[in-house]
Amino acid sequence: MDGWMDGWMDGWMDGWMDGWMDGWMDGWMVGWMDGWLAGWLAGWLAGWLAGWLAGWLAGWLAGWLAGWLAGWLAGWLASWLAGWLAGWLAGWMDGWKDGRADGRTHS
């Protein structure tokens, strides 16, 4: 009986411990941990990269648009102001010349 019992204990228990327990620990547990870790890392990296790229693109586009709009507005305003000032000055000079021709003086 001792031989059969020891053989059964060594064979079945060690086989169960080595086979099922180690297989479960190595296969499922380690595989799950590796898969979860790899999935989490890949997801985090993809999310970070997508977020960074979207942020960079949105920032660049907003900056370019703001710069273009500010430049266009400044150019339009400067052009309008220069035209208005030139017209006003030409009218004033014309009136001044007319006044001088009539003998009137402007101070």
Question: Exposure string (b/e) for 59-75, b if CB count within 10 Å is 16 or more?
Answer: eeeeeeeeeeeeeeeee
Q: 77: Cβ–Cβ under 8 A, 6 or more apart, which residues? A: none
Most distant CA pair in the chain, distance: 145
pLDDT of res. 53: 97
List the pLDDT tens digit at each of the 107 positions of the chain. Answer: 567 777 777 777 777 777 777 777 777 777 888 888 899 999 999 999 999 999 999 999 999 999 999 999 999 999 999 999 999 999 998 887 877 666 666 55
- Tell me, rounded to whole angstroms, the distance of Cα 14 from its chain centroid: 56
Q: What is the pTM of this model?
A: 0.47
